[in-house]
Structure 1
Amino acid sequence: MPKPIRVVGSLNMDLVVQVPHQPISGETVLGSDYATYPGGKGANQAVAAARAGAEVQMWGAVGSDAFGAILKENLEQNGIDTRQLTELPGPSGIALITVDPSGQNRIVVSPGANGRYTPEGLPLFTPAALLLLQLEIPMPTVLAVAEQAFAQGIPILLNPAPIQPLPGSLLPQIRYLVLNETEATSLTQSPIETPEQAQTVAQRLQKQGIPTVILTLGGAGLVWVDGEERGYLPAHSVKVVDTTAAGDGFCGALAACLAAGGSLKEALRFANAAAALAVTRAGAQPSLAYRAEIEAFGAGQRDPSV
């Protein structure tokens, strides 16, 4: 029986408002009616991986409110195993998101139950094909999960978002580090304005003990370093509607391809196509593509740029 991808991370309800422009300090902007979408970086990446063809387990916490029940049901509707999902008293996590006409977003997260998901609440660790981690749950929980996975030889893919200082003990346990230019700049204090600068930063991060570093650059594509190999992959040209969850779509699709035995280059091409599709659609999880359409788009059979 194939081993599942295990995602340990956050679940949020996203409250999304379209705005004519992002407000500056002290400014009030009238926006659209708000829409609610299941989100959270952990849940987004779990859904992305499941839609990309993987068997997925979700570990995390929801609140005892109505949002918690909706978030759990949504995962199950996407074929995700929620048996290890914990319900904690109090509110679920929410994200307040504004999206401007160019598709760019600003996000404020209230962690809710995610912030109360402590190492003491972790289930017994069992084998998995790959562990997918982000940083919307407490760092002690991230460290505890990573330590258990590393001890069992489970490859760990870390998406360090939202960015915060990474403990030195964590980095040597990571197999794949996937981050964007803002996160990489924060970790290295090095500006990134070109793919060449991004490549230099990726190599610097690799020297901290991480075998594979993948640095995404939005519309400029991505760079990667894997052992002695390195490369650049341009972004697909598409009409951007909403960039929310594009990075999560990338991470989930990447994990799904790797867990299925794909090479890193195959997984990068697959994930690059998944992220391109995600930005052509509104919302977080509603924007995440299914395996068949990712493969079709990647093969040039579908172009959502018009």
Structure 2
Amino acid sequence: MSHQLPDQVRTPHVAFVGRANIDITVRIPQRPVAGRTTFASSPATTTPGGKSLNQALAARQAGVRASLITNVGDDEWGASLSRALTNAAIDMSFLQVVPSAPTGTAIIEITPDGENYIVLAHSTETELASEHVRNALQQLRAPIVVTQLDLQPDAVDAVFRHHHAETLIGNLVPHPSLGLTALAPLDLFVSNEAEAAAILGRHHANPSIAAQELRKLGPRAVVVTAGARGAAYSDADHTALVPASHVKAINTSGAGDAFLGTLAARLAHNVPLPHAVAKGVAAATTFVQVDRR
């Protein structure tokens, strides 16, 4: 017997598999150089973060039921993440609190042009394990699943083996132990230009060409985000660049996650890929104009 509420049955559903962490953000006038101290231009802020958490928040704001499959530590930061997700109405049925483990953190430097530089100190104790992923996906049976491909190989393999999705979306450069074989099972692969270059071994000035090259590695469709230029997509029918509106970026940190969460939500509403990409570009464009201090 199903225990889902009526609104859960009607509302499109997306499950996100990956990390949640705390972001510690500082705004700096310029990046530090060796041996010199750079003073932040404002106090540090501490906010919920992590790619999968950010994507789930964006998808929920775009009108879908968003489930987050992740682990957090049994500490104050883990409790803070749980409160934030509860307040945002994210389904946390498979958010697991790991006893005596620290929650991962990311140090984010924001320069005056809005560019971000991130160092992730992830917690090995809270990395997802295959059993957790398998149980979650088998019970959620979400029609769209978005997974980080840089998770531990057994967790990614569990996604591939046990998802019940009509559309499986992968994000980020695959874990080295998986290599490029991790792209073949995907219905859609989403990366930024730097990630695409890392996978392909070279940078393509035209993101549409990068998307086409990535498709040759096996996924049915590919999207390559290109910052202020928008995002390129390539599937069996079309390859095109969806341009972004010209705006002044205040903070680009998390823009790719806003894009992907919105994209997944639109696909869950059965919007065709080109239109879903356009919605994602619009969401990311709005996102970078917000001062999230």
Name the TM-score, length of structure 2 as normaliser: 0.89
Map 1:148-297 onto structure 2 (within 5 A). Answer: 148-149=162-163, 152-160=164-172, 166-193=178-205, 195=206, 198-283=207-292
Q: What whole-Å deviation, never above 9, does each CA across 1:33-83 have from its counterpart, x for those lacking one?
A: 111110000100000000011111111000000000110111111111101
Q: Does 1:110 align with 2:121?
A: yes
Q: Does 1:16 align with 2:30?
A: no
Q: What whole-Å deviation, never above 9, does each CA across 1:139-170 have from its counterpart, x for those lacking one?
A: 32122112212xx3531111115885753442
Q: 2:157 aligns with which of 137, 143, 155?
A: 143
Q: Against the structure 1 CA distance between its residues 46 and 94, is the aligned structure 2 distance closer, same or farther, given a 3 Å change threshold?
A: same
Q: Against the structure 1 CA distance between its residues 263 and 111, is the aligned structure 2 distance closer, same or farther, given a 3 Å change threshold?
A: same
- Provide the residue aligned with 1:82 in structure 2: 92
Opposite residue 140 of structure 1, the aligned amino acid is: D
Q: 1:94 aligns with which of 92, 105, 110?
A: 105
Q: What whole-Å deviation, never above 9, does each CA across 1:99-130 have from its counterpart, x for those lacking one?
A: 11111111111112675321133324231120
Kept in 2: contact 1:62–1:85 (CA 8 A): yes
Kept in 2: contact 1:14–1:97 (CA 8 A): yes
- Provide the residue aligned with 1:131 in structure 2: 145
**In structure 2, C-alpha distance between the alignment counterparts of 1:105 and 1:169, rounded to whole Å:** 30
- Structure 2 SS opposite 1:200: helix
- Structure 2 SS opposite 1:141: helix
- Structure 1 SS opposite 2:64: coil
Q: Against the structure 1 CA distance between its residues 164 and 253, is the aligned structure 2 distance closer, same or farther, given a 3 Å change threshold?
A: farther
Q: Against the structure 1 CA distance between its residues 39 and 153, is the aligned structure 2 distance closer, same or farther, given a 3 Å change threshold?
A: closer
Task: Quote the RMSD (CA, aligned, Å).
Answer: 1.9
Q: What whole-Å deviation, never above 9, does each CA across 1:250-298 have from its counterpart, x for those lacking one?
A: 0000000000111112211111100001101134xx8xxxxxxxxxxxx
- Provide the residue aligned with 2:131 in structure 1: 120
Identical pairs, percent: 32
Kept in 2: contact 1:44–1:249 (CA 8 A): yes
Kept in 2: contact 1:114–1:136 (CA 8 A): no
**Structure 2: 5+ residue runs without aligned partners?**
1-8
Kept in 2: contact 1:60–1:114 (CA 8 A): no
Kept in 1: contact 2:19–2:127 (CA 8 A): no
**In structure 1, C-alpha distance between the alignment counterparts of 2:174 and 2:214, rounded to whole Å:** 17
Map 1:30-69 onto structure 2 (within 5 A). Answer: 30-31=39-40, 32-69=42-79
Name the TM-score, length of structure 1 as normaliser: 0.86
- Structure 2 SS opposite 1:271: helix
**In structure 1, C-alpha distance between the alignment counterparts of 2:281 and 2:64, rounded to whole Å:** 17
